[in-house]
Structure 1
Amino acid sequence: MQGLEAARGAYEVAQAKEAQLKALSKSKNFDTAAAYALQDDIRHCYADVLAADPLFAATNDVEMALWRSCYYKRIEDFRKRTRKYANHAVPSGDALAREHLHRICMDFQRFLADATAFYATLLTAYDAELAHLRQQLQLAPHEGSHPESARIDKLSQSIHRCLIFMGDLARYRELHSEAQTPDWSHAEQYYQRALAAMPHGGNPHNQMAVLATYTDAECVAVYRYCRSLLIRHPFMTARENLALLFEKNKQKLAEEEAAGAASGELRGRTLSNSKGAGGRGNTGALLKSFLRRFVRLHGILFSADPEGLAQFGGMFSAVICDFRTLLYYSAFGDALLLKMVVICTFT
């Protein structure tokens, strides 16, 4: 009971400071330093709530409130400032703008590192509490529902959300790093762990779809968005993201055709008639073209676009032709074929 009272007290203080922050954001004399100070106060209050009573925190969605108020808003502010100076530094070569951009990026990376450390500490505490509760549950008689079961469920949800946030932080870190080639593996690992914590939640699939879009892996992204929706607890934002992906795919395909890219039908026949090493060597290009058009076909079915439906028959025949050719050359791995089956089931 003492923990619950402490959680309620800290929560009330956090809510009051949230109101102050909201009022400050609407003020004509907005003070960034004051806003950051309030966000730090809110973070400490919410952290106290989480430590005092995880069940109360989960019931009042404290993790999401903490993320939105203390981290997501700051992240969006950093990204806005980064875009502003990048627009000046890159085209014009402005040295001062480049210096500002570098400083902002470094500050952003430090902020992301601090945020990751905060959530790592929180996750460790959650894992320890969950292990303790599960041990108590095993020692308890198996008659009726145990009072700790609800706490275990809430803690599992908290761990799930915590891992999603850590994945997002890792994703932002790579998006705004100065590395030539971003490494998305850390973000994906967090999302996979979030999925393991709550296998019936759609959010991790949506986040992994976003990662796939960064590498133009459209088929993988569509598969993940479909999984995000074809699940017990779907993540409904995935439908909007999927519609946007299909629209971008349509534009890319049109640009490739306008640029004079060889048609998929021609490449398919060339490979079919060339069964030596030379033919096999072209499967990579054909597979890329096939997947682009495969996604386009499902985009047409998803949106029921009249213009697209008029083109569907011819494109479908070409895609099937190339599919047979690629099967002949064993161009598909089992994982890719599974993803294609799931996409076909969805649309």
Structure 2
Amino acid sequence: MGDPSKLSRVQGTSKGLWPTFVESSSFETPGIVRLISSSNARSRIQRKYKDILFGFPFARQAQAVDQSLWSDTSYALIAQYRSRIDPIRASPPGNKNAVENRKMLQKFLAFLGAEGTFWSGIVSRLVRIHGLTEANGAMVALGMNIVEFENRESLARQGQIDMAPAALEDNPTPTHPPPSHEHRSNKLLVVFRALIYLGDIARYREQYGTHPNKANSEPSTKRSRGGRRGKGGGAEKLNEKPFSKAEAFYVQARLLLPDYGNPFNQLAIVHSYQHDFFGAALNYYRALCVRKPFPTAQDNLIRRKEGSKKLVATIQAKEKAKQSQPGSLRQTTTPPKISRVDSNRM
């Protein structure tokens, strides 16, 4: 599909844009110039990568272009934001740059929201045009068949895209069905990785959706405002387990391709945030016990084990210190034993 010479030109253009994006996305660049230039360069890189992914879907270069799209445009900026925000979150309250810091955090959360929309669209389009029915269960479970239409409707109102009637079809005819089992497997792998990316985005959104001075990873519990998705949403929101959205993406990725260790590794991270350290260790272990283990799962498991040991030691030390305090129940004199005669009289 597509002219090979055009593919080469697209590749060359995307590589040429990358240094410009790196320079313009640096937080050392003056504010307004940085925002305009990095946004423009990043959008152009995204378009070029998408041209390869959808314009030449079965070319060798398209097999892993999603990884470049994620690392070069999405995660590159996520890392920049985190490097700026993390020190702020660890600092004591009352920072003199509180307003600027809050604006930075708001921009980061808005960026993550836009990235969630972007990657949801990528997944929906891949499933639709290639007829990847194996992923239908994940689409329904995650509500992405609905989300894509709502996102497209929102973008269309802003004049960014034209509405496509195909987005409303329940079972659209695939326009580019994979010509072989190998190509189909590759497209499923791209969807699988994109679900992991979406899980990471959801995890960052919840992790950083707290007060910027909080150094922990626990999300704040916010009351839902309700909305048009139905009544009773507020109660469900309050009872929602922390990082459940990220967990849902990872679980669906695991169900789609259970032989890969990546979802288990990401689930272990979620369990750590939920303070379920046994669940974290179990999932790191499961990330090893598959046909395609996650590369760093063993190191992660060892670190989790050592971290759990330190946590247990800290808890035991605190308990011991508490017991040694004057007036502790443990420090009271042992009551005398009641003799057999006395007990019979009672």
TM over 0.5: yes
Superposed displacement of residue 97, structure 1: 2.5
Superposed displacement of residue 247, structure 1: 1.5
Partner of residue 210 from structure 1, selected from 269, 276, 279: 269
- Indicate whether 1:155 and 2:223 are aligned: no
**Which amino acid in structure 1 is aligned with residue 220 of structure 2?**
Q
- Indicate whether 1:194 and 2:197 are aligned: no
- Indicate whether 1:48 and 2:51 are aligned: yes
Contact 1:195–1:201 (CA<8 Å) still a contact in 2? yes
The CA distance in 1 between the partners of 2:62 and 2:51, in whole Å, is 15
- Indicate whether 1:131 and 2:131 are aligned: yes
Q: Please, which moves more after superposition, 252-261 or 218-227?
A: 252-261
Superposed displacement of residue 29, structure 1: 7.4
The CA distance in 1 between the partners of 2:20 and 2:105, in whole Å, is 28
Superposed displacement of residue 148, structure 1: 2.3
Superposed displacement of residue 103, structure 1: 1.1
Superposed displacement of residue 84, structure 1: 3.1
Equivalent position of 1:85 in the other structure: 88
The CA distance in 2 between the partners of 1:63 and 1:70, in whole Å, is 10
Greater fraction helix: 1
The CA distance in 1 between the partners of 2:124 and 2:61, in whole Å, is 17
**Which amino acid in structure 2 is aligned with residue 180 of structure 1?**
S
Equivalent position of 1:172 in the other structure: 204
Residue by residue over 1:293-313, the C-alpha shift from the partner in whole angstroms, topping out at 9 and shown as x without a partner, is: xxxxxxxxxxxxxxxxxxxxx
Question: Where does the alignment leave 5 or more consecutive residues of structure 2 unmatched?
Answer: 135-171, 211-218, 222-240, 322-346
**Which amino acid in structure 2 is aligned with residue 219 of structure 1?**
F
Q: Secondary structure at the match of 2:242?
A: coil
Q: Number of paired residues? A: 252
The CA distance in 2 between the partners of 1:256 and 1:87, in whole Å, is 23
Q: Secondary structure at the match of 1:115?
A: helix
The CA distance in 2 between the partners of 1:154 and 1:38, in whole Å, is 28
The CA distance in 2 between the partners of 1:154 and 1:54, in whole Å, is 10
Residue by residue over 1:94-121, the C-alpha shift from the partner in whole angstroms, topping out at 9 and shown as x without a partner, is: 3x42222221121111101110111111
Distance 1:3 1:230, change over 3 A: farther
Please show how residues 190-269 of structure 1 align to structure 2 within 5 Å: 190-260=249-319
Contact 2:261–2:287 (CA<8 Å) still a contact in 1? yes
- Indicate whether 1:76 and 2:79 are aligned: yes
Equivalent position of 2:341 in the other structure: none
Contact 1:85–1:97 (CA<8 Å) still a contact in 2? no
**Percent identity at matched positions?**
24
The CA distance in 1 between the partners of 2:62 and 2:100, in whole Å, is 42
Contact 1:10–1:45 (CA<8 Å) still a contact in 2? yes
**Which amino acid in structure 1 is aligned with residue 185 of structure 2?**
D
**Which amino acid in structure 2 is aligned with residue 195 of structure 1?**
R
TM-score (norm: length of structure 1): 0.65
**Which amino acid in structure 1 is aligned with residue 17 of structure 2?**
K
Contact 2:52–2:61 (CA<8 Å) still a contact in 1? no
**Which amino acid in structure 2 is aligned with residue 256 of structure 1?**
I
Contact 1:200–1:231 (CA<8 Å) still a contact in 2? yes
Q: Secondary structure at the match of 1:120?
A: helix
Superposed displacement of residue 55, structure 1: 2.6
Superposed displacement of residue 57, structure 1: 6.5
Q: Secondary structure at the match of 1:221?
A: helix
Superposed displacement of residue 149, structure 1: 1.6
Distance 1:20 1:82, change over 3 A: closer
Contact 1:119–1:162 (CA<8 Å) still a contact in 2? yes
The CA distance in 2 between the partners of 1:25 and 1:226, in whole Å, is 37
Residue by residue over 1:262-287, the C-alpha shift from the partner in whole angstroms, topping out at 9 and shown as x without a partner, is: 9xxxxxxxxxxxxxxxxxxxxxxxxx
Distance 1:254 1:127, change over 3 A: same
Equivalent position of 1:102 in the other structure: 102
Q: Secondary structure at the match of 1:2?
A: coil
Q: Secondary structure at the match of 2:74?
A: helix
Distance 1:132 1:219, change over 3 A: closer
The CA distance in 2 between the partners of 1:75 and 1:217, in whole Å, is 26
Equivalent position of 1:340 in the other structure: none
- Indicate whether 1:65 and 2:97 are aligned: no
